[in-house]
Amino acid sequence: MKQWNRWNPSSYGWADEARKYEQLLHQSQPLPASDWTHERKVKMLSQMVDYYASHQQADGAIIDPYSQAERYYSTPSYALAAAVLVSSGREDLIDSAASALTHSIELLVSERTPDQHPDFFIVMIMGAYRILKEKMPEQAELWRQALATIEPEQTYLFTMSKMKNPNRMINWNAIMLSGEVIRQAEGIASKDTTWIDNYLQKYHLPRFTSLGWYEDGPLDRPNSPFAYDIATRYHLGVMMLSGYAGTTATALQSQLQHGAISSLLTLSPLGELPPRGRSAQHQWNEAAAAFVFTMQAQQAYADGALQWAGAFRRAADKTWAAIEKWQTSEGYVQIVRNHFPAEQRHGYEVYSNHTTYNLWTAAALAYTLWYEQPEEITSYPIPAELGSRTLQADGWFETVFSSVPDQQIVIHTALNDPYIIPGIARIQRAGLHANLATSSPGHRDQGFTEFNAGDIFPLIHMPAWQTEDNVWHHLAEGIPTATPFDRDTGVDPSDGGGSYRIEQSSTTADHNHLVIRWQGPLQGINYVVATYEQSPGHIVVTYEVVANDEAEAGNSTEQIKQIGAWIPLFLSDGQASSTIKTERIDRQSLTARAEQSINEWDTADKVGASSATMTEQEQVEVITVTYRDQYIRIVPRTPQATITFPNEANEVASRNGLLRGARIEATGSRISFELFL
């Protein structure tokens, strides 16, 4: 098979893991034909556009049904999505798309864009223009004349002429550059790319990590949300496909290639991108990923790397499916993955808007359809479906991924960020609802995020410990930093002296062993060791806290009265609630497969946990969470451990709805529990 010539293993940070996956990929079999046909995608997009067509005003503006105003870049997003549907045969949308385009151009050139977001307009305007100009030549000339009046340094907001600050050349600037390349390609702007090259070379290429991920935020302290990594790469991908050939084109193409592989390696079994930072769990994350995966599938296909192409094709299909699950009968999607009414804004960011983020999602899906080639690419398994791996993010992303076939856990590692707290942030398994084992945690500081219900509490899978003064502490309690937390700029993970490292990591075909050590200063202790063992359907977690640097692991109980493990339990999505109960059950009633896996890779030898006593008991106390006709069980493995439900975590806000916190408690400095998925 021809080598995929756009992958540069000498500079790609996960080259070894990519090679291992490639070997598995070559040994795998093609999957059945995908039911995500072009027609199905067009239908899904049509339903979204048709809903918002009913909210279009006479002047072409799209009005949000909840805020009763035109918001952000809703109208140009609609223009692009409707225009792509016109190209797919929806001739009934020509006038509607043209009206939205005319209105959007007028707002941009007159510097009257809603909510001061001009930088987002041009890439959507130019996409709609390219399609509609052939169908409406006389109107197109008026559009062209108006677009020719744009002076980028003055028309847009995030430019050096206006900001005079390199730290502010963030995703907004890259998005604007993408649209300006299309304006050049259409002969409306000068063909000279020097000023675009300068922005890309100075402010954007330095933001890419060795994994091809884009670190958004100030250059000296990027906050690195995964949402704005994928959004920026999506727009830069549009720019490349629109003909950018400036001085940074080769380097940029390599980074986009690497980023696509990294996103493929970390995509969950359910087709969701990793949660981290602002705008996590918003549908447009997966819409941007659909574009990235689709374009990489086509590039791999053109290079003859058919299995890589098939894996990217399957990844793209999974992201479409992840969005479709949240599409309502009216056509719009729940922009955040919960079922609270849109007007309640639960889990929304302060800037999230029902119309804007539905139509931004529609626009990204529209660009995906516009560039999608007719070749039939045969699907192959994505990494989440093949083998086991542990992946450590680089740069400022502060995330570790651990997976076995059809199952993934995502661990956040920074000790000093109250918006992105440390611990297992997500557990997902194929066939289970994404919310069941939790897809997003609580917060210590809600930052950008708004909630309609629930308390702000840093609830996540994490260790806890009770000191001799009877006070309970936990890993997400935080470390004081020299620089106060700022939601816009984020925090330096090393500020305050906390750190983490992976101490052990090993995998087999269907088993993953991972040990992470978090180093203080922490309240009453010096460090925490967390051990994660997983096989399909089964996860064992062991925490050990050490209060004295000189103490040998397993021998330190100084200052520690009890050890605990916080467990986030999904409570409600705003529509359906879980049933959470504790009961004592016969251990033999646990699945034979899980029992077999316990015997095969018991953690006792690795971390000193005494699980033998537990497995010999006839009955154990368990927590069962039942949600939408599916259930999981959490079972203490430490002898004589008790399960409590502290009042401070009785109803905790998360982007997906509400969580309830349980805490497993035991004497000593080590505790272990298991999850049956």
DSSP code at position 34: P
User: Closest by alpha carbon to 602, among 513, 515, 669, 501?
Assistant: 513
What's the count of helices (H) and strands (E) in the chain, helices before strands?
18, 18
Instruction: Indicate the residue type of 617.
Output: Q
Q: 589: pLDDT confidence band, cut at 50, 70 and 90?
A: low
Query: Is it the case that residue 585 has pLDDT exceeding 90?
Result: no
Q: SS3 sequence, 656-667? A: CEEEEEEEEEEE
Query: 384, 399, 416 — which closes off a domain?
Result: 384
pLDDT over 70, % of the chain: 92
**Statement to judge: residues 335 and 429 lie in one domain:** no
Q: What is the pLDDT of residue 559?
A: 74
Tell whether 101 is covered by a domain: yes
Contact 275, 426 (CB under 8 A): yes
Q: Which residues pair with 580 in a beta bridge?
A: 625
Residues 49, 92 share a domain: yes
Is 5 within a domain? no
Of 341, 369, 384, the residue that ends a domain is 384
Question: Could you read off the pLDDT of 591-622 as tens digits, one per residue?
Answer: 544 544 444 444 433 333 333 344 545 688 99
Domain harbouring 332, CATH code: 1.50.10.10
Domain total of the chain: 2
Q: Domain check: are 372 and 412 in the same one? A: no
Helix axis angle, 171-185 to 121-132, nearest 10°: 20
pLDDT at 204: 98
- Quick one: 464 and 610 in the same domain? yes
Confidence of residue 549 (pLDDT cuts 50, 70, 90): low
Task: Count CB-CB contacts under 10 A for residue 31.
Answer: 17
In tens, the pLDDT along 421-463 reads 999 999 999 999 999 999 999 999 999 999 999 999 999 999 9
Output the pLDDT for position 547: 84
pLDDT interval class at 1 (50, 70, 90): very low
My answer on whether 188 and 81 are in the same domain is yes
Same domain for 212 and 168: yes
Helices (H), 551-650: 592-600, 604-607, 612-616
pLDDT over threshold 80, residue 556 = no
Classify residue 346: in a domain, yes or no: yes
Residue 144 has pLDDT above 60, yes or no: yes
For residue 2, pLDDT over 70 is answered with no
Give a yes or no: residue 43 inside a domain: yes
Residues 446 and 336 in one domain: no
Please write the tens of the pLDDT for every residue from 85-123: 999 999 999 999 999 999 999 999 999 999 999 999 999
Please check the confidence at residue 4 and state whether its pLDDT lies above 60.
no
Phi, then psi, of 585 in degrees rounded to 5:
-130, 160
Same domain? 138 vs 205: yes
Class of residue 332 by CB neighbours under 10 A (exposed 0-12, middle 13-18, buried 19+)? buried
Residue 558's pLDDT is what? 56
| CATH number of the domain bearing residue 608 | 2.70.98
Residues 140-162, mean pLDDT to the nearest whole number: 97
Tokens (6 digits) for 190: 């000068």
Domain extent at residue 95: 15-384
Identity at 529, one-letter amino acid code: V
Which of 335, 365, 384 terminates a domain? The answer is 384
C-alpha triplet 317, 320, 325: angle, nearest 5°: 125
Whether residues 516 and 655 share a domain: the answer is yes
488 and 503 fall within a common domain = yes
Rounded mean pLDDT of 499-522? 96
Closest C-alpha among 91, 116, 109, 286 to residue 183? 109
**Residues 619/587, Cβ–Cβ less than 8 Å:** yes
Q: Does 542 reside within a domain?
A: yes
pTM of the model: 0.95
Q: At what angle do helices 38-53 and 306-324 cross, to 10 degrees?
A: 30
In a domain, 7, yes or no: no
Indicate whether 570 and 670 sit together in one domain: yes
When pLDDT is averaged across residues 572-590 and rounded to a whole number, the result is: 89
Please report whether residue 138 resides in a domain: yes
Say if 3 falls within a structural domain.
Answer: no
Hey, is 485 helix, strand or coil?
Answer: coil
Residue type, 180: E
Each residue's pLDDT tens digit, 214-262: 999 998 889 999 999 999 999 999 999 999 999 999 999 999 999 999 9
pLDDT higher for 244 or 4?
Answer: 244
378/435 same-domain check = no
pLDDT of residue 604: 36
Q: pLDDT digit string (tens) for 460-488?
A: 999 999 999 999 999 999 899 999 999 98
